[in-house]
Chains A and B, each alone.
Chain A
Amino acid sequence: MARRDTLSVVLIGISGLLLAAAVFFTFTVPTAQRETGGDVQRIFYFHVGIAWVAGLALLVTFAASILYLARGEQRQHDIIAHASVEIGVVFGVMVIASGMLWARPVWNTWWTWDPRLTTTAISLFIYVAYLMLRGAIDDPQRRARFAAVYAIIFFASVPITYFATTWWNTIHPNLAEGGAFALTSSMRPAMFLSLAAFTLIYVVLLRARMHVEQTADEVAVLKQHMLSQ
């Protein structure tokens, strides 16, 4: 970062501290019951935090895309939508990877076509396609408009993924249902610290990614300026 961005430095510092605290609590809460995987269950705190950020990032893209079409196509909204999808896709891959690490010892398989897993994979592919669509269009205005339409129509995949554990019979643990997977009071510090840490990391990444895009815009303007002289 060429310009001094004090806020970003502060946010990085706080999210680092929160993450360290989350790691501390994750490894000090009493071991979970055998059926939830024993020590392997500890990955749950990160899995949920990451999944939350993936959903949040795609929700932000959805909102920014609506604003882009409704508020006279401002470049700022397109930048937010694009930056947020990139983070959402990276975190989507991380959700699946962390889930697999847990599923292997507990379900005895890396992957199964459970409704939650299937809907997660479909959503991920939808947003990878979004990035490919953007990459294939040169005209910036058309790129932004097509991407906004695509992001608005197919955002439906995200709430469907979220509610998959409620709507269908699934073997994926559902926190809201209680039972062996219920959030007990001893688990809360690790859970909430992890959620807070990953949310802040999302904010930091979003700001950084938007900054890159804005700088690229400035460079393009300067280039035009230089060439026209």
Chain B
Amino acid sequence: MRDYFRKAWAIVAKDLTTEVRSKDMLSSMGAFAALVIFVFAFAFDLRAARAAAIVAPGVLWVVIVFAGMLGLNRSLAAEFDRGSFDGLRLAPIDRSAIFVGKALGNFVFMSAVEAIVLPMLAATLNLPFLKPMILVAMLLGTIGFAGVGTLLATMAANTRLRDVLLPILMLPVALPAILAAVRVTAGALDDAPFELWGNWLGLLAAYDLVLGGLAVLTFEYILED
């Protein structure tokens, strides 16, 4: 077990080192996220009294999902473009360890982008985003998104349509998680009683467990070539 995680961690370390040297993913995801926030600020008319508070949870999660898909595509397309995925496949490690490693790496990148997005949104929308429950929702949402997204991005990278296919595969599947995360964020932002939105936190956790588990179990079939 310890050995398994050591091997998965080696893949995470590889991705982090590549990123520290090239800064490809974080710069593009960060710039994209900032631009989406900009677009939303102008696309929505925020003159009404509580307009900012009403759209805020949705804006937060749309930015996370869109920037996340950008990163997921890059993370796996890069492996296939350089042919380094064959190296991973040949390595004497469990196939699911490759998945865990790649998913963990994507989780770290998405979390880093979220650390930039959250203060930006708090400042531009003038809302108290730094609440423990919002952070829990972001943690759970990002776990589920990185897990399912890594599996689907690996599939998409192996098709003719490549990165164009990921949003089509990803969005319908991510919808339940987005819905739950938005409800939790809205509940926490409004200081509504926990009983009103606590269930959604449970749904988010169940989503991570079920889909994350299935992704770990089935990943080897996608690599078997």
Chain A interface (Cβ < 8 Å from any Cβ of B): 69, 122, 125-126, 128-129, 132-133, 136-138, 142, 145-146, 148-150, 152-154, 156
Contacts and interface: CB of A to CB of B under 8 A. Distances in A.
Contacts of A136: 159-161, 165
Interface string B157-201: 011110001001101110110000000000000000000000000
A78 to B, nearest CB: 13
A132 B155 CA distance: 12
A146 B172 CA distance: 17
A149 B222 contact: yes
Contacts of A122: 172, 175-176
Interface stretch (B13-21, B26-34, B85-93, B209-217): B209-217
B81 interface: no
Q: Report, as a range, how many residues of chain B touch the other chain.
A: 20 to 34
B127 to A, nearest CB: 25
Summarize A's interface: helix, strand, loop or mixed.
helix
B172 A125 contact: yes
B221 A149 contact: yes
A156 B215 CA distance: 13
Most buried by B among A146, A152, A156: A146
B218 interface: yes
Given A122-B175, A154-B173, A132 B165 contact: yes
A153 B176 contact: no
A147 to B, nearest CB: 9
A47 B214 CA distance: 32
B134 to A, nearest CB: 23
**Which secondary structure characterizes the binding site on chain B?**
helix
B3 interface: no
Contacts of A148: 221
Contacts of B161: 132, 136
Nearest to B213: A153
B225 interface: yes
Contacts of B222: 145-146, 149
Given A136-B160, A142-B158, 9 more contacts: A122-B172, A125-B171, A132-B168, A146-B158, A153-B214, A153-B215, A153-B218, A156-B210, A156-B211
A133 B218 contact: no
A132 B159 CA distance: 10
Contacts of B225: 142
B155 A146 contact: yes
11 contacts: A125-B172, A133-B165, A136-B165, A142-B158, A145-B222, A146-B155, A146-B159, A153-B151, A153-B211, A153-B214, A154-B173
